[in-house]
Amino acid sequence: MTIDQRATDGTAAQAGGTDVLAAHGLVKRFGDRTVVDGVSLHVGRGEILGFLGPNGAGKSTTIAMLTGALAPDEGEITVDGVALAADPMRAKALIGVVPQEIALYPSLSARQNLAFFAGAYKLARGLRKERIDWALEVVGLSDRAGERVSSYSGGMQRRVNIAAALLHKPRLLFLDEPTVGVDAQSRNQIFETVLRLRAEFGMSVVYTSHYMPEVEQLCDRLVIVDAGQVLAEGTQQELLKPLGEGLLEWALNEAELALLEKGIDDLAVAFTEHGEVTVTTSGDNVPTIRVRVEDMPATLRKVSDFAAENCLGLGGIRLGRPDLESLFLDLTGRQIRDGA
Amino acid sequence: MFPMIRKELLVLLRDRASLITLFISPVLFMTVMSFALGNSFANLGSPGKLSISIVDEDHSPAAQAVVRALSSSGRLQVTSAVDGVPLSAAQAQSRVHAQTDAFSVLLPAGFQQQVADGGAPKIGFVVDPSSSRQVVDPVESAISSLVVTVTSQEGTTLALTRLSDTQSDPAVKAAIQAQVAALDSTTHQVDSTVSFPAGEGAKKYPSVYQQEVPGYTVMYVFFIVTIMAGSIMVERREGTFRRLLSAPMPRWQLLLGKVAPYLLVAVVQVAILLSFGRFVFGMNLGLHPLALIPISLALAACAVALGLLLASVTRSEAQVMGIGTAMVLVLAALGGCMVPGVFLPHFMQSITHFIPQGIALNAYQDVLVRGESMGAVLPGAGILLAVAVAMFALAVPRFRFVR
């Protein structure tokens, strides 16, 4: 059975429920190191899921398992009701993968690359030209399809990278950092492509990115991972709610700490009534408090008063809106692009 | 799998550097080396003469007998005098220095006396340091043997003459003098003929092309090792392997689709290079050209298997290029691809039998030079295939599609 036959007779779609992707208790170990530790997630039909995590969080390993490139040590994955472990060829035929790298053959033209991937996805021979033309039109490269990929700009290469994953019209598309190093025009083109695929084909998408505005703009729901575990999952509204009116970070240097009787603990106590306070250290081992602010004007007045009373400077203060950047910082203690 | 094969061939066809390495470079090497070594092979089987000079400082009958014996050799061009004046040691050294002679033989004063006293005759050799020891050493050895024979005969003649002088009986005296005359008329030449071993089809010495074309063909087929392993490293680095692991294609198909095109390219490469030798140089393909097929297939399999093994134990393109290139060149040298086997020392000729390149080259020469048939080359091809299978067996379990 070819991919196209499966897509049109709907056999795969009938097999599962409403989730196009369901993963339960994924574990992956490399030697003694557990890189992914019990990750579970699901993606609904036509849903765009943001999959976020800092470098080393186990994100790439999880994606590799979800796309069938790596076998999990524990856990189960089903794609549109098809168990990936039991029937990998059928499950993989329902997945499209756009890797972070430009995973193409630069000496070949865009059309030759797409013809190869159409063959790799076992697309019916008679359908290949039509699908290649369609994929090129979707990413806006029909007029330059005969040129070598090496002659394209970074943005155009990214678009061919996406087109190669669309040829078999997958039910689930993985987009791993699809906008790295692209210009604004290509970025907009990629956004439009993702939204169009969902609108026209009900395609589900797993989207990873370090650009929070992209994630805010595109994703219906988010999964945030760190140290191989899911830290949070939900819609943006659900996840941002605990942040209240924003996030206040105050880092003290050694001289400032010496001015306080109990050091950073004095600062933490002073802000307890203004929201949930976490004491942490930044990447440079600088003692820091982080406050989920409930009333921003009152908290800022407190900052001013406390600084004046204790002769502290305001250089270590950072305010964050209740957005994904702040959420990520709150959950992981790191900026999303730290070490990215 | 067929899309993989087609893609790989397309990529390779657009890779000019690889095409030059696989096809243009061996053709250039074959051409240049064939011209460079043409004279060496032209003399095979024909009476080429080695120029030497002799300095006779003894002027004795024994020394003169040595000069006569060497001068009468059909293989040596001997100079013992210039314009009727006997050559001096200084002149002989000048001639060697000017490379007029390969070396000079010095018969020192007292040469005959040493023989008469029963001692070992002393002779000297003046050799151009740039001369090939493989040429000079055997000739030196042969001349030394000849000197021993001639001086021994001269010693016997001398003894018989002295014995004759002490005889009073004319009949005995006449008999001894007849013996002396017989010894004097003894020639030191051998009437020799050359033939090839029974069963071999060859009727004449090989041409330079029959040595150089298969040699460089075997050597350059193994350059597929670095090209294939390098391509695998690029696919790992660029993430295309990772991407294909998510495609509905079993891993064995992915691996086979990557390896098979290089097997095909290696076979085509052999066909093109041997055809070049045949049609451009007029190289004789022997009495059974079809016997070249099993050798070529086994050779290609061996090269591709080595490429896969290299890709499975290295981690970067730099490692592939460094280790791969060194390995290919060293194995080619040990296998006798760069220098014809006849010029290699004995221990290296022994090593070639254990090197895939040497086994392949020997099998090719069985067909091209010795006129052997299919049956004679199958053992060699079988060994190459067994080596290929062993390398595949080592490589496949270690192979990783992603870093």
Over chain A (340 residues), the average pLDDT of each successive run of 10 is 39 53 95 93 94 86 94 95 94 94 95 96 92 93 92 91 94 91 84 90 91 86 91 88 81 81 79 80 77 84 86 84 78 62
CB atoms within 10 A of CB B374: 15
* 8 Å CB contact of A108 and B6: no
pLDDT at position A96 is 95
B249: chain A residues, CB-CB within 8 Å: 89, 120, 122
Nearest CB to A120: which of B238, B242, B244? B244
pLDDT at position A339 is 41
* 8 Å CB contact of B10 and A108: yes
Most confident stretch, A183-192, B79-88, B230-239: B230-239
What does the CA dihedral A313, A315, A316, A320 come to, rounded to 10 degrees?
Answer: 120
DSSP code per residue over B143-154: HHHHHHHHHHHH
Complex ipTM over 0.90: no
* 8 Å CB contact of A107 and B15: yes
Between strands A172-176 and A95-98, the pairing is parallel
Look at residue B307 and give its three-state secondary structure: helix
Contact by Cβ (8 Å): B387, B367: no
User: Which tokens go with A40?
Assistant: 């579970």
Per-residue buried b or exposed e for B158-185, using 16+ beta carbons within 10 Å of the residue's own CB: bebeeebeeeeeeeeeeebeebbeeeee
A99: chain B residues, CB-CB within 8 Å: 239, 242-243
Q: CA B248, CA A122: separation in Å to the nearest integer? A: 8
* 8 Å CB contact of A97 and B246: yes
Residue A82 forms contact with B (CB below 8 Å):
no
Q: Which of A205, A250, A237, A206 is nearest to A327 (CA)?
A: A237
Give which of B240, B241, B402 to mutate to test A binding, by max A Cβ within 10 Å: B240
CB atoms within 10 A of CB A23: 21
A67: chain B residues, CB-CB within 8 Å: 245-246
Between strands B76-79 and B50-56, the pairing is parallel
Most confident stretch, B116-130, B211-225, B328-342: B211-225
| Better pLDDT: B104 or B39 | B104
User: Which tokens go with A174?
Assistant: 């993985």
Give which of B242, B245, B403 to mutate to test A binding, by max A Cβ within 10 Å: B242
Per-residue buried b or exposed e for B21-30, using 16+ beta carbons within 10 Å of the residue's own CB: bbbeebbebb
Q: CA B364, CA B380: separation in Å to the nearest integer? A: 10
Q: CA A209, CA A186: separation in Å to the nearest integer? A: 15
| Better pLDDT: A279 or B306 | B306
Tell me the pLDDT band of B142, cut-offs 50, 70 and 90: confident
Residue A119 forms contact with B (CB below 8 Å):
yes
Tell me the pLDDT band of B44, cut-offs 50, 70 and 90: low
Degrees (nearest 5) of the Cα angle A190, A332, A287? 135
Per-residue buried b or exposed e for B70-108, using 16+ beta carbons within 10 Å of the residue's own CB: beebeebebbbeeeeeebeeebbbebbeeeebbbbbbbb
Q: CA A254, CA A312: separation in Å to the nearest integer? A: 11
Most confident stretch, A57-61, A153-157, B153-157, B326-330: B326-330
pLDDT at position B305 is 97
Distance from CA of A36 to the nearest CA of B (A): 18
pLDDT at position A8 is 36
CB atoms within 10 A of CB B45: 11
Percent of chain B whose pLDDT exceeds 70: 89
The total number of residues shown for chain B amounts to 403
Residue B212 CB contacts under 8 Å (≥ 6 apart), including other chains: B30, B33, B34, B37, B340
Q: CA A215, CA B325: separation in Å to the nearest integer? A: 48
> Is the pLDDT score of B302 beyond 80?
yes
User: Which residues of chain A form beta strands (DSSP E)?
Assistant: 19-30, 33-44, 48-52, 74-79, 82-83, 95-98, 172-176, 204-208, 221-226, 229-234, 246-251, 275-281, 287-293, 317-320
Nearest chain A residue to B2 by CA: give it: A119
Q: CA A96, CA A168: separation in Å to the nearest integer? A: 8
Q: CA B224, CA B4: separation in Å to the nearest integer? A: 18
Q: CA A292, CA A244: separation in Å to the nearest integer? A: 6
Nearest CB to A116: which of B7, B238, B239? B7
A97: chain B residues, CB-CB within 8 Å: 243, 246
Tell me the pLDDT band of B131, cut-offs 50, 70 and 90: low
Amino acid letter at B231? S
User: Which tokens go with B264?
Assistant: 């095909």
Tell me the pLDDT band of B223, cut-offs 50, 70 and 90: very high
pLDDT at position A15 is 35
pLDDT at position B323 is 95
**DSSP structural state of residue A72:** -
| Better pLDDT: B160 or A82 | A82
In terms of C-beta density within 10 A (0-12 exposed, 13-18 middle, 19 or more buried), how is residue B66 classed?
buried
Residue A64 CB contacts under 8 Å (≥ 6 apart), including other chains: A70, B242, B402
Q: CA B94, CA B81: separation in Å to the nearest integer? A: 14
pLDDT at position A57 is 85
pLDDT at position B47 is 52
Nearest CB to A103: which of B2, B10, B242? B242
